[in-house]
Structure formats: structure tokens, C-alpha cells
A and B are shown apart, each in its own frame.
Chain A
Amino acid sequence: MNNFSIKIKDPVLSIRNLSVSYDKGKYAVDNVTADIKRNSVTAIMGPSGCGKSTLLRAINRMHELYENIETKGDIILNGNDISDMPTIKLRRMAGMVFQHPNPFPTMSIYDNVIAGYKLNGIRLKKKLRDEIVERSLTDVTLWDEVKDTLYKKGSFLSGGQQQRLCIARALAFNPEVILLDEPTSALDPVATSKIEDLLVKLKENYSILMVTHNMSQAARISDYSMFMYLGELVEYGKTKDMFTKPKDRRTEEYLTGKFG
């Protein structure tokens, strides 16, 4: 069926025959099956409109926000079928980071980190809150930069710092998997490289699935890569293999810049 045969033991995430359509009969994601490896960075590449963001959003069911959405197939996150899970639980297990940094403008840096608890009405003891904030900000290497301004508004930070704050907000829930939707496409090169270093570091403790437009970024930091085209998962394998000897002609053409 597909041009790949990749076996992943004890995957954090199993996607089985997933199809998503926004419009009856038109599939944004077409029968995708893939396992995502634990504690590694997996990149989803492909030209605009190939369904990579939809695939990512199907994992924490953010795609359900659109009307007339139809989803077929299963996604198993750490042994649990996500369609049975309440979205609050699912979205705690699968944290999401978006293209544009989006800290809550009315909240302080501190409150932004624990926003997930606060907004859901989960009360924590102050000591535990402080711990979560410090751990999450340390994880994203932001702690030293903001520890004296924790109670200032998050929107005063630079774009790159804001994006790291948003990652910290996702980490505060200690998620099973972090979903990133082109996290650096709105950032300058210095901020981008900081985020990339951060993701490589984070994979020690977290599993990362990232949509990227940027092939060299995928080559730099990902362990596994997927190439999607017109909703179909064309190729999936170790990044090193895919970039050196792609199996599918379309992957090769994309990687060599013939389209996309």
C-alpha cells in the first residue's frame, strides 16, 4: 500500500486508517496509518494544503472546531482511544503549540504557564503551582530570563520568548506528546534556532510531533519524518534515510525543490 514499512515498538501514538473530510467526499487526510515513536522528534512535511495541520489537529481533536467535519479511523494515545476521552483530558495529554505565539494577553507570565489549570478551575496549592511554573519555564530555558518578571504580562516578551512561554504552558500539564504546528515560521532565525535546540533537549522527556514547512529544519532536528501529499501519507521513515535515499518519486521531487 504505502512505500514504507516502518516498525516502531511501544509507540506513544498510533494512527490507524485516519481520514478527515471537511467537505463530503473530499479528504484533507486520506487513510493515514502511522506509529509515532516515544521520546523522539517526528516531523510532518509537505506542501501547503497537504493535510499536515489537519492530521496534527486530529490528534488533540482541535479539528472538531470546524463545522461539518467527518473523521474516520482511530487514534490511540498511550493505549487510550482518543475518541472516547473527554477533550479536557485528551488536550492535557497532547499539548499543542501554534504557528503564532499566543500567550494570553491579560495574564502574567506566571499565570500563562499554569493557565491550563487556572482556566479549567483546577485548584493547586501555591507550592505546587510555583513548582510547576519553575519546572516548565526551566524546561524551555526561559526561567533565567523571566524569573524576576514573573508577574508581568506575557505579551511584553519577544516573539521567541513568547513561543517558549507557549511551549511551557503545554509542558505544565506534563503531556504525553507535544504537537507543534509550524512553531518557528513566525520567528526570526536566532529565536528559531533556540526553539530547535529546545525541542532536541525536550525529547529526553517528551515525545514531539511537529508540522514544518521548512525541510532543513526537519533534517536538522527530527529523528523521523513523514511526507504528506494531497492528504496521503506518501513516505514515513527515519529522517536520515528519507533525506538521503527517498523511496517515493514525489518525496524526492519535494525534497529537491521540484514542487511545494
Chain B
Amino acid sequence: MSTIANKILTDNLKTRTLKNKAFKSLVVALSVITILPIILIIYKLIAKGIKQISFDFILKTPPDTFEAMTALTNGETIPGGIANGITGTLLMVILASVIAIPVGVVTGIYLYENPGKFLANLIRNVSDILQGVPSIVLGLIAYMWIVKPVTNGFSALAGSVSLSIMMLPMIVRSTEETLKMIPQTIKEAALALGVPYYKVIIRVLIPTSFSGLLTGILLGISRVLGETAPLMLTALGSTIINFNVSKPTSAIPLLIWEFYNDPNMVDLIWSSSLLLMAMVLTLNIMSKRIAARTK
């Protein structure tokens, strides 16, 4: 080969390596931008919120404006906590799960068992659409269905119903996808032992896909944990700890909104957000762990 041709080749190689490096750096830089917000959010929440976190914060209800103002002028931390929000959130999320999990799992099984049927396709599409419905609209619906006719006023039940409608499509989809991942051979093994179909589903398919189902459920819960809009129209909020599902109830995101509207309570916004963020992250990491363990 001539030396000129050789030179062209090596030059070409050099520019190519250079371009390659530039592109790689760009990819890395853009990826860092993606994770930057979450790092900044967590940093900010910890920096501003950690000083309010104490046992009182979990065990007591919020102070009134006057107490908060006094504490602020004296340079102390704001007394009280968000116990009503924590219990309200737990109450409504648990109730929503009790509604959404059985319905979602059974629907998911139906979709998996009848992939091509008209009804199954309809359900699949509708549940996809449901996932895109704005949460405030779901709040309105729950207001129409529960608040007015059933509980005769704002209630935890109405809040749970709106949250469960939000969870439902996630659980349906994750159930169907998880079941699809089970090898057909496992199903055949059970059927070849003469096991009736419903028992194959209950005793073989569900246990085998259990961790996948759990992952979907945890993600669904973590999604509704921070929902505010539907709760404003349904659960409304409450200054006391309430376990009565037919009464107005507070929730952590509702409290954050209330604190936002009161200049004396601003510090509580950060600590409440920190707690909410910690709950969501824990659920997310748990679901990732469970999903990774089964792969």
C-alpha cells in the first residue's frame, strides 16, 4: 500500500477516534443532566427539612399559625408535626390498595388468559386510557360518586376510591406482563398433572409471578402516595388524626399544600416533603430489589 493512502487512513482514524470521544462525552453529559434534578431535590429537602424531623414531627398534629409564628420569632423550630397527614395517607393508601389490588390482579389474569378476545383488547385499551386521565378528573369523579351520594361529605373513602382508580391500570398491566414472562412449560407441567385450570392460576401462576406482581403493586402505591389534586376534592383535609373512612381526612401532600398557604409554616413544607420523598424512594427501591432478585 502506498504511503499516501496509509496517511489518509491514519488521519481518518484520528478524526474518527476524536469524533467518537466527543460523542461519548456528550452522552455522559446529557445523562448526568438527567440525574441532576433528583440529586438537587434530595439535597435541598435534606438541607432544609432535616432540622424539623423529630419524634414530635411524626407523633403530633400541626401547630396553629400563632404557635408557629411565636416559634419563628423566637428562632426555634416549629412545634408539632404531621401525624394527621401520615395516618391519613396510610389509611387512604391501604384502603385504595384493598380496592385496587384484587380487581387489578384478576383483570390482569383475564387479559393474560384471553389475549386476542375483543373484550380483553377493549379492557387493555381502556386501562391504558385510564392511566392518562388527569388525576384531578379522577378526584371529580370520586366526588360525584362517593362524596355526594355515599358519605354525604368529604371522606377518606372518596379519597381512596380516586387513588384506587389511579392504581388500577398499573396493577392490571404489570400483572399481565409478569404472567406473560412465565414460561408456558410451567403451566403445561401443572396441567399435565391433571390440575384444574383455576388451581393452576391460583397455586402455580400467581406464586411463580409473585415478586413481579408485588413490584407492580409497590410502584402503583408509590405513584399515588404523593397525589394531591384528587384528595383536595375528596378527602379535603383535617386538623385531627382521623381513622373514620366516612370523615374528612388529611394526607401528607394535602398538608404540604396547606403549609404552603401559610407563611409561618414554610419550614414544615420541607420536612413533610422530605418524609414523603423518603417513603416514595423506599417503595421504589424495594420494588427494584424485588424485581432484581427474581431475574
Q: Do A60 and B208 have beta carbons less than 8 Å apart?
A: no
Task: Give the complex CA separation of A92 and B195 in angstroms.
Answer: 10
Q: Contacts A104-B204, A106-B210; is A87 near B194 (CB within 8 Å)? A: yes
A120:B199 contact, CB within 8 angstroms? yes
Contacting residues, chain B, for A100 (C-beta < 8 A): 183, 185
Q: Please tell me if A102 contacts chain B, counting CB pairs below 8 Å.
A: yes
Q: Does B130 contact A (CB under 8 A)?
A: no
Residues of chain A with a CB closer than 8 A to B188's CB: 62, 65, 98, 102
Q: Are A60 and B186 in contact (CB under 8 A)?
A: no
Distance in Å from the Cβ of A56 to the closest Cβ of chain B? 11
Contact in complex: B208, A96 (CB < 8 Å): no
Known: A119-B203, A119-B204. A104 touches B190 (CB 8 A): yes
Enumerate chain B residues within 8 angstroms of A173, measured Cβ to Cβ.
193
* Chain A: minimal CB distance from B211 (Å): 10
Contacts of B207 in A (CB 8 A): 106
Given known A-B contacts A105-B186, A105-B208, A106-B207, A96 and B194 have beta carbons under 8 A apart: no
By the criterion CB–CB under 8 Å, are B199 and A119 in contact?
yes
Are B194 and A92 in touch, CB under 8 angstroms? yes
CB-contact partner of A90 in B183, B185, B189, B194, under 8 A = B194
Does A11 make an interface contact (CB < 8 A)? no
Q: Is B37 an interface residue (CB 8 A)?
A: no
Chain A proximity of B204: nearest CB distance (Å): 6
Q: Is B192 an interface residue (CB 8 A)?
A: yes
Contact A102 B193 (CB under 8 A): no
Within 8 A of A (CB), among B194-219: 194-196, 199-200, 203-204, 207-208, 210
> Is A159 part of the binding interface, using a Cβ–Cβ cutoff of 8 Å?
no
Total contacting residues, chain B, CB less than 8 A: 19
Q: In the complex, what's the smallest C-beta–C-beta distance from A217 to chain B, in angstroms? A: 21
The residue from B183, B191, B199 contacting A62, defined by CB atoms under 8 A apart: B191
Please name all residues of chain A whose beta carbon is closer than 8 Å to the beta carbon of B196 when the two chains form the complex: 88, 120
> Shortest CB–CB separation between residue A235 and chain B, in angstroms?
28
Q: How far is the CA of A95 from the CA of B193 in the complex (A)?
A: 7
Determine the chain A residues whose CB is within 8 A of the CB of B183 once the complex forms.
Answer: 100, 102
A65 to B113, CA, bound (A): 12
Contact B193–A89 (Cβ < 8 Å): no
CB distance from A208 to the nearest CB of B (A): 16
A246 CB within 8 Å of chain B: no
**CB pair A88 B189 closer than 8 Å:** no
A133 to chain B, nearest CB (A): 15
The 8 Å CB contact of B192, one of A62, A105, A106, A121, is A62
Inter-subunit contact A106/B208 (CB<8 Å) = yes
Other 19 A-B pairs with CB < 8 A, given A116-B194, A116-B195: A88-B196, A90-B194, A92-B194, A96-B192, A98-B185, A100-B183, A102-B183, A102-B188, A103-B189, A104-B189, A106-B207, A115-B193, A119-B190, A119-B200, A120-B194, A121-B199, A169-B189, A169-B193, A170-B192
Using a CB–CB cutoff of 8 Å, the interface residues on chain A facing chain B are: 60, 62, 65, 87-92, 95-96, 98-100, 102-106, 115-116, 119-121, 166, 169-170, 173
- The 5 A-B residue pairs with the shortest CB-CB distance, nearest first, are A88-B194, A91-B194, A102-B185, A116-B193, A96-B192
